[in-house]
């Protein structure tokens, strides 16, 4: 049945044409035998992965060329929905010609984007994003089998949102640096929780050890403790040298908001703090000029001197300002 034959606005419209085509006409469904792998001068790898939440399962076959680690043959079998078949077919195709080390870097986001008709339109509805996650996981299982290691060795951080591959550390940092207060803001900034929504709170498609609501609550509590501790010990903006990176960024933003930005806005300009790095005892504050400041000749002379001088007086004598 053609995609356009159903009523406009139905759930069918949330699937890309590529997904519809691949679920009905998969290019790489099948298997590879030991004999076929040997004929390719390759080692046969067979990996299985299943999603307990929906009962879908996929088996991945790789023929890995001896001496090069290159995947010269790739097939799959899928026991699941049409989206699982389409995701597995695209995943299998993405593996072809890559080394095992290259293939393990393929993520579920790569799979989902490869199924899109247009770059900015998701290929599947949010609740089906887990199918591309399963495709990503079976790649890791195949790579682990080939290398003789545990699958967990490919994950160095705790993934909270499997759909968008967002880690707990990233979520905490983004919440702190951007002073996020709601789940909606987290979704806007990180895309975590924007797909199947299982990671937002209990009761979703898949059970989690920790949810976005927990991370937001814990991080906001930690931020409040840091704020109270900061108020309890104030010197020259609370001893800039001893601050954490997040505290340094906040201190710089405070000085910019109170003492620098008003001066720039008067002339139609503005600036933003991009990063802070420590280099040979100096605190290099990287800024980007905005508005009229971005084309002003004094951005590298008088204006830069005024910004740097204000930050030095307010924060630390070792501050250096680096326009980018």
Could you read off the pLDDT of 55-94 as tens digits, one per residue? 678 999 999 999 999 999 999 998 878 888 999 999 999 9
pLDDT (0 to 100) of residue 286: 95
Give the Cα separation of 151 and 47 in Å (integer). 11
Nearest to 22 by CA among 109, 71, 93, 79: 93
pLDDT (0 to 100) of residue 9: 53
Stretches where the chain sits below pLDDT 50 are: 1-8, 235
Pull the structure tokens for residue 165: 């591959």
Give the Cα separation of 197 and 193 in Å (integer). 5
pLDDT (0 to 100) of residue 5: 39
- 3-state class percentages of the chain: helix first, strand second, coil last, to nearest 5: 50, 20, 35
The structural architecture, per CATH, of the domain 3-154 is: Alpha-Beta Complex (3.90)
Clarify whether 163 is annotated catalytic: no
pLDDT (0 to 100) of residue 1: 39
Tell whether pTM > 0.85.
Answer: no
The CA-based dihedral angle spanning residues 213, 216, 222, 224, taken in that order and rounded to the nearest 10 degrees: -110
| DSSP structure string for 162-227 | TTTTEEHHHHHHHHHHHT--SHHHHHHHH-TTSSS-TTTSTTSSS--SS-HHHHHHHHHHHHHHHH
Q: Do 63 and 40 meet the contact criterion of CB atoms below 8 Å apart?
A: yes
| List 95, 131, 196, 293, catalytic entry | 131
Clarify whether 161 is annotated catalytic: no
Per DSSP, what are the bridge partners of residue 291? 269
pLDDT (0 to 100) of residue 4: 42
Give the Cα separation of 40 and 73 in Å (integer). 8
pLDDT (0 to 100) of residue 267: 84
Q: Do 103 and 92 meet the contact criterion of CB atoms below 8 Å apart?
A: no
The domain limits of the chain are 3-154, 159-225, 240-323
Could you read off the pLDDT of 301-313 as tens digits, one per residue? 888 999 999 999 8
Pull the structure tokens for residue 187: 């979704």
The structural architecture, per CATH, of the domain 240-323 is: 2-Layer Sandwich (3.30)
The structural architecture, per CATH, of the domain 159-225 is: Orthogonal Bundle (1.10)
Q: Do 30 and 75 meet the contact criterion of CB atoms below 8 Å apart?
A: yes
Q: 235-272 burial, b for 16+ CB within 10 Å, e for fewer?
A: eebbebeebeebbbbbbbeebbeeebbeebeeeebbbe
């Amino acid at each position: 049945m053609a995609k356009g034959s159903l009523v406009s606005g139905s759930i069918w419209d949330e699937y890309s044409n590529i997904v519809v085509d691949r679920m009905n006409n998969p290019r790489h469904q099948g298997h590879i035998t030991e004999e076929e792998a040997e004929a390719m001068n390759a080692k046969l790898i067979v990996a299985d992965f299943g999603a307990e939440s929906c009962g879908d399962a996929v088996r991945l076959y790789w023929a890995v060329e001896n001496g090069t680690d290159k995947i010269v043959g790739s097939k799959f079998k899928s026991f699941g929905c049409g989206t699982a078949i389409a995701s597995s077919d695209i995943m299998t195709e993405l593996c072809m010609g890559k080394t095992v080390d290259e293939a393990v870097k393929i993520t579920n986001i790569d799979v989902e984007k490869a199924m899109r008709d247009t770059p900015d339109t998701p290929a599947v509805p949010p609740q089906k994003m887990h199918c591309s996650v399963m495709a990503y996981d079976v790649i890791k299982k195949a790579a682990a089998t080939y290398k003789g290691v545990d699958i967990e060795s490919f994950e160095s951080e705790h993934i909270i949102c499997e759909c968008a591959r967002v880690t707990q550390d990233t979520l905490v940092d983004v919440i702190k640096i951007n002073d996020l207060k709601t789940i909606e803001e987290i979704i806007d900034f990180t895309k975590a929780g924007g797909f199947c929504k299982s990671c937002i709170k209990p009761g979703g498609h898949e059970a989690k050890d920790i949810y976005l609501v927990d991370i937001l609550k814990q991080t906001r509590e930690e931020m409040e403790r840091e704020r109270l501790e900061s108020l309890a010990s104030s010197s020259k903006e609370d001893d800039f040298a001893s601050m954490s990176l997040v505290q340094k960024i906040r201190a710089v933003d405070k000085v910019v908001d109170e003492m620098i930005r008003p001066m720039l806005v008067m002339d139609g300009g503005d600036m933003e703090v991009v990063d802070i790095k420590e280099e040979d005892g100096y605190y290099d504050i990287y800024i980007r000029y905005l508005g009229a400041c971005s084309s002003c000749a004094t951005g590298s002379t008088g204006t830069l001197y005024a910004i740097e001088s204000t930050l030095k007086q307010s924060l630390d004598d070792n501050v250096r300002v680096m326009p980018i």
